[in-house]
Structures are given as structure tokens and as C-alpha cells.
Amino acid sequence: MHAVDALPCPFRFEPATTALIVIDMQRDFIEPGGFGETLGNDVAQLAAIVPTVAALIAWCRAHGVRVLHTREGHRPDLSDCPPAKRRRGAPALRIGDPGTMGRILVDGEPGNDILPAVAPASGETVIVKPGKGAFHATPLDEMLRQQGITHLLFAGVTTEVCVQTTMREANDRGYDCLLVEDACASYFPAFHQATLEMVRAQGGIVGWTAPFARLVAAG
């Protein structure tokens, strides 16, 4: 049993019943010239967490914690992309449009790939999700239950969108969740901090938060 010095109280978990979900560490969100940058964002905010995410993945692999990855991606015909999602905002490029790394957020395109530094190892599950949450329209919940998973660790981007959405979905399904604070990031630092505070408010209404160093110290 590992006990992490987390907020709002210690987070306890057994590696055999725990999985790390690494959310959307994709080239299009993190690399210069990708979709994230075309939206006017500073992608350096996200790139800064890559070493910590890589170290977290390595720690989980070494401690018997299952590692799963997600990518936000759509079918080439965009049949799984609601029109409202595609037309949202006023970006220079929209989902499905040709970008510098292929078609934006289309499964199989270069920009949809996970960064090499945090790439899945052989045998690790990759969930391709059409929405912000990893449980929506995917087999994730069934897969976790079949593996006896009860506790989840979270990393990835962005904190307030896909990470938080997936964590709230997991909370509603009865999983105990720890958000690793410095292994997730937002284009907006204030949004990142606000999400951490929302997650652990009211006695951990959504879950727990802790920096990676405290996870290491626990085991």
C-alpha cells in the first residue's frame, strides 16, 4: 500500500489496482506549429511538463502501475465529430483541415501522434477518444473494470479541459483519483491552478492532488 502526502488528505493505493491515464500528449497540442499554437496559445506551457510526465510513466512502469494513454482524434470522415465542436470559436484551422502536421485532430495523422518522449510502450493501451473525456464513446470503463482497477492517477493536457473532464467522469463512476499536479498543464496557468483547487475542494469532491515528488516519496 502506498500513501501519498496529497491534498486534501493522504491518497492510498495499491499498484495492482491502479492505472495511470496519460491524457492527450499529442504533437498537435504541444509542438510549435500544431493546432494548439494556431489557436493563439503558448505551447511552451505544455512542453514544460514533458520531462515530468516521462518520469511519472517510468515510475509507474517500475512499480507495477498500469499505464494507459489517450489521444483526441476523429475518423477521417469526421462522422464522430459533432458539427458544434468543429465550428466552435474562430480558429485559423478547424478540426479536419490540413495543417503543418496533417489534418487537424484526425486519427492517423502525424499531428495526432503522441510525443516520442512519452510514447506508449509495447502492450500499453491507447484510447482514441472523440470527446474531451476519455470515458465518452470509448471502452475505457469496461477495460478498467475487467482489469480490477479502482484507483487512477492522471497526467497530461490540458488540466482544465480533457484532464479534468476525464477525472470527473471517473469520479462519477466510483474511481478514486489523484491528479499529479506538475504532470499536467494548461495554456493558461490560472486555469491550471483553479482546476487543482476545484478538484480537491470540499474534502476532495472530485479527488486528490499532489506533485510527482510526493508520489515518489510514497514508494
Active site residue 85: no
**Which of 20, 18, 42, 21 is CA-nearest to residue 31?**
42
Among the listed residues 81, 113, 132, 162, the single catalytic one is 162
Please list, in sequence order, all residues whose beta carbon lies within 8 angstroms of the beta carbon of residue 36, skipping any fewer than 6 positions away: 28, 29, 30, 43, 46, 187
Asked whether the beta carbons of 31 and 163 are under 8 A apart, the reply is: no
Candidates 24, 28, 113, 182; catalytic one: 24
**SS3 at position 98:** strand
| Cα–Cα distance for residue pair 196/210, rounded to 1 Å | 9
Gap between the Cα atoms of 213 and 211, Å rounded = 6
Q: How far apart are the C-alpha atoms of 192 and 162, rounded to whole Å?
A: 12
Catalytic residue among 60, 81, 113, 129: 129
Reply yes or no on whether 24 is catalytic. Answer: yes
DSSP β-bridge partners for residue 179: 154, 209
Residue with cell 518520469: 55
CA–CA separation, 74 and 108 (whole Å): 9
**Cβ contact 55:63 at 8 Å:** no
Is 162 a residue of the active site? yes
Give the active site residues.
Answer: 24, 129, 162
